[in-house]
């Protein structure tokens, strides 16, 4: 793992973790899902998208803290130095009627490289 990153454990336990690493030479932040020592999937996010992700996480943190800006580990009413940032709603183009019943088909299991 690069020297700049962190590891987060899953609430479900079972040795599931999320690894976040920054690769300045590639201009990317890599988010990878691990089960023990086996990588189950990864996502390379352009460093330019970090502000959008941080805005979303800030909004989630505020919502989880009761909307007063206090996140976990911060007393209510105490400023943690994070300003609320509005998260823009993504535009979604509806291309057809979505009110009917959908036939569900089992997809093949994904392969992990």
Report the 10 Å Cβ neighbour count for 54: 12
Residue ranges of the chain whose pLDDT lies below 50: 70-82, 84-85, 87
- Its pTM stands at 0.55
Short-list 12, 6, 2, 3, CA closest to 35? 12
Q: What is the pLDDT of residue 79?
A: 46
Model pLDDT, residue 59: 93
Over the stretch 65-97, which tens digit does the pLDDT of each residue have? 855 554 444 444 444 444 544 545 555 566 655
């Amino acid at each position: 793992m690069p020297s700049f990153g962190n590891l987060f454990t899953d609430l479900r336990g079972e040795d599931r973790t999320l690894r976040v690493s920054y690769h300045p030479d590639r201009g990317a932040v890599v988010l990878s899902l691990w089960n023990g020592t086996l990588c189950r999937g990864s996502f390379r996010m352009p460093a330019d998208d970090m502000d959008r992700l941080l805005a979303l996480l800030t909004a989630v943190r505020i919502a989880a803290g009761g909307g007063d800006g206090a996140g976990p580990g911060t007393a209510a009413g105490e400023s943690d130095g994070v300003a609320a940032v509005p998260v823009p709603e993504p535009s979604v183009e509806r291309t057809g009627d979505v009110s009917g019943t959908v036939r569900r088909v089992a997809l093949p299991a994904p392969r992990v490289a």
